[in-house]
Amino acid sequence: MSKTVYFDNNATTQVAPEVRDAMLPFFGELYGNPSSMHAFGGSVAKHVDAAREEVARFLNADPDEIIFTSCATESDNSAIRGTADYFGRDLKVITTAVEHPAVLQPCRRLKALGHEVVELPVDSTGQLDLAQLEAELSKPSTSKPATLVSIMWANNETGVLFPIEKVAEICRAHGAILHTDAVQVAGKIPVDVKKVPVDMLSMSGHKFHAPKGVGIFYVRKGTKLKPFMLGGHQERTRRAGTENVPYIVGLAKACELARLGMADETVKLTALRDKLEAGILVSCPNVRVNGDRTHRLPNTLNVSFEYIEGEAIAYHLSDLGICISTGSACASGSLDPSHVIRAMGVPFTAVHGSVRFSLSRYNTMDEVDYVLEKLPPVIRNLRELSPFGPDKDVSTFK
Ligand code: PLP
């Protein structure tokens, strides 16, 4: 296999060469511990400070509001478990049925521990009903002194964008604390925490061309929270553990590249994605696009090929050098249909055939053309082999 077409950028991205170059000195001569008293460590601490300023600029936040973590999973857990730790049983949690497991699992743990936890549904386009959020926040049963709302900004599987600005307004009006998992919007749409007043926000470096193993946890000043990671006094005692200096520097470089290049990239990604989508809809019958097509990330396309399995499609494309996914990377390995696609009520003939194409700045029109050449015969062949289809028996297709 000579060619690799990587269309799985919501799972992870290539480290940008500029990011790699920025990190290299910190694997060599600049190895000091930023917490050390001596000047050698202090010279490294300055780079961590500069990185914090760059990340803050990316989010229009204050540098003091940026905490470096190991990944978005840690940031999500810090927000949810840290808030629960602060308020104890007095906390009610509202989230959605389509969150990433890094949010859903800590919320379900809180539920098992006796907290009141509500998962809001989505409609057939994967959109949230804000009236339901308002209703949940206004319930007379909401006698809890504190409510945490954890709602993602963009869905990793469908790319659907939630109206997080309106969510923030509603939360403010009801005095609820708002956390958003902004992993998939990083580098794809502008994030400004002054315009969209969330209290906490999570991002992961490897989703926007920094390495795996470093994350952002934004915490607005004054937010009531206990630290999730206990130990030393790093990050002003808000996240213990020696700073991962090379990755923090790389993360800041990725933020800078995203900040400077985002406008052009959005235009490019939208053109690539739209060509891919139009080409698939023209060349393959019995296909549906999953998710709200007007409020969607520019790089993401989720489609269901009815009557066949997404895993089989991904497997055959992989043989042709094309990388796509059938759900969140974390759920792969299981053949259960995606919880996101199921929550949208996608018909059973299409649930299993859902696949995700997700693009990055490094993709090209030639690659889109290559996929549009190779994909239709794969779909045709799988359909011929499938015992199910529009003219076949679907009664056992579940
Ligand atoms: N949240 C969302 C929306 C994601 O897409 C992911 C990763 O796929 C995560 C959280 C977890 O990120 P990480 O595995 O880097 O901690």
**Type of residue at 346:** V
Question: Could you report the per-residue pLDDT of 196-221, keeping only the tens digit for each?
Answer: 999 999 999 999 999 999 999 999 99
**Which protein residue has the closest C-alpha to ligand 1 atom 5?**
156
Mutate to test the pocket of ligand 1, among 156, 161, 204 (most ligand atoms within 8 A of CB): 204
Ligand 1 contact, 358 CB (< 6 A)? no
Q: For residue 156, what pLDDT is reported? A: 98
Q: Characterize the bridge pairing of strands 91-96 and 146-150.
A: parallel
Q: Which atom of ligand 1 is nearest to the CA of 206?
A: 15
Q: For residue 307, what pLDDT is reported? A: 92
**Type of residue at 225:** L
The pLDDT mean for the chain works out to 94
Ligand 1 contact, 251 CB (< 6 A)? no
Q: Which atom of ligand 1 is nearest to the CA of 102?
A: 10
Ligand 1 contact, 184 CB (< 6 A)? yes
Residues 63, 305: Cα–Cα separation, whole Å: 46
Span from the CA of 81 to the centroid of ligand 1 (angstroms): 17
Q: Which atom of ligand 1 is nearest to the CA of 70?
A: 16
Ligand 1 contact, 328 CB (< 6 A)? yes
Q: For residue 90, what pLDDT is reported? A: 84
Is residue 330 over pLDDT 50?
Answer: no
**Type of residue at 210:** A
Span from the CA of 190 to the centroid of ligand 1 (angstroms): 18
Span from the CA of 338 to the centroid of ligand 1 (angstroms): 15
Q: For residue 335, what pLDDT is reported? A: 64
Ligand 1 contact, 181 CB (< 6 A)? yes
Ligand 1 contact, 72 CB (< 6 A)? yes
Question: Could you report the per-residue pLDDT of 263-302, keeping only the tens digit for each?
Answer: 999 999 999 999 999 999 999 999 999 999 999 999 999 9
Q: For residue 328, what pLDDT is reported? A: 45
Contact 249, 26 (CB under 8 A): yes
Q: For residue 141, what pLDDT is reported? A: 59
Question: Could you report the per-residue pLDDT of 29-57, keeping only the tens digit for each?
Answer: 999 999 999 999 999 999 999 999 999 99
Residues 256, 204: Cα–Cα separation, whole Å: 15
Is residue 329 over pLDDT 50?
Answer: no
Q: For residue 14, what pLDDT is reported? A: 98
Residue 352 tokens, joined: 């299993």
- Start-to-end Cα distance in the chain: 34
Q: Which residues are catalytic?
A: 330
Span from the CA of 368 to the centroid of ligand 1 (angstroms): 25
> Quick one: average pLDDT of 125-131?
98
Residues forming beta bridges with residue 149, ordered by sequence position: 94, 178
Residues in the chain: 398
Grouping H, G, I as helix, E, B as strand and the rest as coil, residue 243 is coil
Residues 174, 316: Cα–Cα separation, whole Å: 50
Ligand 1 contact, 70 CB (< 6 A)? no
